[in-house]
C-alpha cells in the first residue's frame, strides 16, 4: 500500500528533507525576517530564506538608503558641523 507524499505549503514552508523510496518528505517553516532584519537570500522549494540584521545609523550619521524587506539601510557620516 502506498501513501501520498506530504506537499509543502510554498508560502510558509520549504522541503528540508527530500523523500526517498521508504520515507516521506519533511517540510520546515520558512524563516520570517521581521522588522529588524532584511532578506538576503530568497527561499526556494528546497531551501530556507536567509535574513540579516538591518544596519542602524548611529549618532553623526544619516540614512542614504531606506531599509526594505530585501534591502539593507545605508548610512553616511554627516558633514562636519552638522548633525
Q: For all residues of the chain together, what is the average pLDDT?
A: 94
Q: What is the pLDDT of residue 16?
A: 97
Structure confidence at residue 12 as a pLDDT band (50, 70, 90)? very high
State the virtual CA torsion across 41, 42, 47, 49 in degrees, nearest 10. 70
- Maximum CA extent, the chain: 78
pTM of the model: 0.79
Beta pairing partners, 26? 17
Segment 35-63 shows an average pLDDT of 96
Amino acid at each position: 500500500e502506498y501513501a501520498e507524499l506530504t506537499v509543502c505549503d510554498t508560502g510558509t514552508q520549504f522541503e528540508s528533507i527530500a523523500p526517498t523510496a521508504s520515507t516521506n518528505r519533511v517540510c520546515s517553516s520558512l524563516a520570517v525576517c521581521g522588522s529588524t532584519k532584511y532578506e538576503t537570500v530568497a527561499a526556494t522549494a528546497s531551501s530556507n530564506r536567509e535574513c540579516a540584521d538591518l544596519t542602524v545609523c548611529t549618532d553623526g550619521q544619516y540614512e542614504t538608503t531606506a531599509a526594505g524587506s530585501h534591502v539593507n539601510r545605508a548610512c553616511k557620516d554627516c558633514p562636519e558641523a552638522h548633525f
